[in-house]
Amino acid sequence: MAKKRTSRYKGQGKAARQRQQQRFWIGAGVLLALLVSGGAVFSLLSTVPEVSAERLEQEAHLGAEAPRVEVVKYGAYGCHACRAVHQSRIMERILENYGDQVRFTFRNVPIIHRNDPLAAEAAQCALDQGDGTFWAFHNGLYSISDSAYNDLRRGADYAALAAENGLDGAALEACLADNTHARTVDHWAEEGDRQRILGTPTFFVNGQRLNSAAQLESAVVAALNR
């Protein structure tokens, strides 16, 4: 759990507090003047690029192109349970045994850790480089330690992780700097809301919600036998 930050001005004298108040009101006045004069700076800073409907719906898949069984996992990169399921290799085993009939899709719902939204955006930037690069980056995010994940706070941090996993780190960092997939992340977060995803991981097998990952393989086998 993140500790509550203490004020950098705590314990300083009255004069210091007055200087801080003066700086605040001067800054507020400058900002107000900019807004009144047209708000160009505010508009520039708040601009988020539009994303085509086709790209919003684009996903990376593993397994069969024309599957009999669809497995969808809603997860977050800062989720301990998601990482445990990933590292258990249960989905890898299912694909090894039934990969010609099963397709796996990961959908990101960044609801667990403060770094999840930026990690989700970085994963979308990885997808821009190809399905294979998405999965390489996805696996890299789930392979690092909790402390390493806590340190992923800047575009450069994700670029370094991307490069370690065979991606173009500079391209990924530029993608993040441009907020290229902020709307894409919002799109899938909204999809999670529509599906009433309250915790991660949550699995669906052919649209049927599972209560736990322990049911995953048996649910896949049952769906194949229908």
Does residue 161 contact residue 35 with C-beta atoms inside 8 Å?
A: no
pLDDT at 205: 98
Q: How many Å apart are CA 178 and CA 167, to the nearest integer?
A: 18
Sheet holding 202-205, edge to edge: 61-63, 102-108, 69-75, 202-205, 208-209
Phi, psi of 64 (to 5 degrees): -70, 145
Contact 60, 134 (CB under 8 A): yes
Report pLDDT for 4: 33
State the pLDDT confidence band at 39, using cuts at 50, 70 and 90.
very low
Which of 19-33, 143-157, 159-173, 211-225 has the lowest average pLDDT? 19-33
Q: CA 155, 140, 60, 57 torsion: positive or negative? A: negative
The distance between the two most distant Cα atoms of the chain, rounded to a whole number of Å, is 77
Alpha carbon of residue 144 to chain centroid: 15
pLDDT at 211: 82
- What is the mean predicted confidence (pLDDT) over 183-205? 95
Lowest mean pLDDT among 13-17, 200-204, 217-221, 222-226: 13-17
Position 24 confidence tier, pLDDT thresholds 50, 70, 90: low
Closest CA to 185 of 72, 108, 106, 79: 108
pLDDT, residue 48, reads 82
Q: Which residue has the higher pLDDT, 3 or 151?
A: 151
Q: Give mean pLDDT, residues 145-164.
A: 96
pTM, full prediction: 0.77
Q: What is the pLDDT of residues 80-111, one digit of tens each?
A: 999 999 999 999 999 999 999 999 999 999 98
Phi-psi region of 99 (alpha: psi -120 to 50; beta: other; left: phi over 0): alpha
Which of 12-16, 44-48, 60-64, 189-193 shows the lowest per-residue confidence on average (mean pLDDT)? 12-16
- The residue type of 207 is G
d(CA 46, CA 49): 10
Is pLDDT of 34 > 90?
A: no
Query: What gap in Å lies between CA 172 and CA 129, rounded to an integer?
Result: 9
Dump the DSSP string for 94-128: HHHHHTTTEEEEEEE---SSTTHHHHHHHHHHHHH
